[in-house]
Amino acid sequence: MNFLWDEYSDQPHILKREDKKILRKDSGYSFLKLLLLNIILFPLLFLKFLIFRNIKSSDSIDDNSFYSLCVNLDKGGIQYELVEELGVNSLQIRVFLNDMQNINKYVDFVKGFGDDKKILITIIQNREHITNKELLQKDIKIIFEKFNGICSEFQIGNAINRIKWEFVSMEEYLEFFKNIQDIRNEFFPKIKLIGSSVIDFEYHFTIRTLFHGYKIHFDKLASLLYVDRRGSPYNTQYKIFDLKNKIDFLRTIVNTSNKCEDEIYITETNWPLSNTAPYAPTSELECVNEDDYTKYMLEYYDITKQTRKVSRVYWHQLIAPGYGLVDNRDDKIRKTKAFYAFKKMIQDAK
């Protein structure tokens, strides 16, 4: 089956319904376990959240890392200059398992940002590596070796609850993580592995990845916590879950599990921009103008920081006409209003 990439929005194309059915035909038992687990745990975790959500966290937040940013190899070397202008200290870079022939280019790209940056490498899965344990472990060992001494944190997988990203079930993801963890444990014990990389407010998947019998452990919890379909992050979903409550509930889940250390990274969030099709990752209905984009971005960081329950928020991303801080259409670099607001936000925090 072909999983086609949309170069405009930097994500896979949506799969046809019949293709999804084919992929899921042998996953009924996995989805049954997901359902039964959440029937038992979700109400208990929700009740715990209601009881403890207003208790203030005493966690300290490192301003130099909190304001984080995603950058991409394919967006070019202009990003070095833009990152320095923004004053960003913490970066996330995707490495695609289906692009192993270019691994040295990824390493050189990371090195180009200098040795004063905190780098999070996100390992982007593909179907071949999900289903072939030996291939996965061989290539992961290569990646860890190549980045040895350059960075020590790796996010394992991306948007694992979206079948277009090639995981069919949470069991597949847990096995995928375990295979990588085995390589880490044997050869690279100082590396930190971050999961489970669930996208959006779909915490039933997060619960499944944090309550199980697998011998795996996340050194930190990654969440791709988008709230763009609600408009402002102050707006609610299901009448109660604004951004603050979504974070509080996520922290409750993490605190209750013994499969993860008590630290959260939000590794992706943004808003899609109006009149940027086909670059926008959603329909025009969900898109916002650049003024609202800037306003919502600032609100998102402010709300999250005040909870003191999230260590880093990675804005996705620096250059992307449909949702980034910089528009590079027609081979021109246009810094948006949000670019300068992001810069000022970092300056004010110092």
CA distances from 206 to 114, 155, 161, 259 (A): 34, 15, 9, 11
Tell me what percent of the residues of the chain surpass a pLDDT of 90. 96
Average pLDDT of the residues in 273-285: 96
Q: What's at 346, amino acid-wise?
A: I
- The residue behind tokens 């979504």 is 246
225 φ, ψ to 5°? -95, 80
Average pLDDT of the residues in 4-23: 94
Q: 128-144 pLDDT, tens per residue?
A: 999 999 999 999 999 99
Asked if residue 176 lies in contact with residue 128, where contact means CB atoms within 8 angstroms, the answer is no
Q: 25-66 pLDDT, tens per residue?
A: 989 999 999 999 999 999 999 999 999 998 888 888 998 899
Name the token pair of 92.
């996330």
pLDDT at 350 over 90: no
d(CA 150, CA 60): 25
Asked if residue 222 lies in contact with residue 197, where contact means CB atoms within 8 angstroms, the answer is yes
Reported as a pLDDT band with limits 50, 70 and 90, residue 297 is very high
pLDDT at 1 over 80: no
CA-nearest of 290, 307, 287 to 342 is 290
> What integer pLDDT is reported at residue 10 of this predicted model?
95
> What integer pLDDT is reported at residue 287 of this predicted model?
98
CA-nearest of 155, 165, 144, 78 to 113 is 78
Complete domains list, the chain, with CATH: 17-54+65-270 (3.20.20.80)
pLDDT at 161 over 90: yes
Q: 163-217 pLDDT, tens per residue?
A: 999 999 999 999 999 999 999 999 999 999 999 999 999 999 999 999 999 999 9
Reported as a pLDDT band with limits 50, 70 and 90, residue 114 is very high
**The pTM is what?**
0.97
> What integer pLDDT is reported at residue 28 of this predicted model?
94
